[in-house]
Amino acid sequence: MLAKCYLHPREEAAGKCDVCKKPVCRKCAKKTEGKLICRNCQGKKPGSAVDTDELERQERIEKAKEASRRNR
């Protein structure tokens, strides 16, 4: 029973973020002082979260396209 990264549903989680306790993959998690911190929790500075948001938005658009195709 492996958890998936909450930012990347296709990626297996490498661990849990120590801040939000969500499963995150290696790409999202960074080890900081022995703790895993996910991108969202690291990137509290304005601008640094854009990358993740943009990726997530694109994934949602792709999924929406797929879903609408299947519905027809």
Give the whole-angstrom CA distance, residue 40 versus residue 8.
13
Give the whole-angstrom CA distance, residue 4 versus residue 30.
16
Among 14, 19, 49, 55, binds Zn ion (CB under 5 A): 19
Is 29 a binding residue for Zn ion by CB under 5 A? The answer is: no
Per-residue interface string for the shown chain with Zn ion, residues 52-71, x marking contact by CB under 5 A? --------------------
For the chain, give me the number of helices (H) and strands (E)? 2, 4
User: Which residues, 6 or more positions from 14, have their beta carbon under 8 angstroms from its beta carbon?
Assistant: 5, 24, 25, 26, 29, 36
If the CB atoms of residues 12 and 66 are measured against Zn ion, the closer one turns out to be 12
Among 23, 25, 36, 52, binds Zn ion (CB under 5 A): 25
By CB under 5 A, name the binding residues for Zn ion: 5, 7-8, 11, 17, 19-20, 25, 27-28, 38, 41
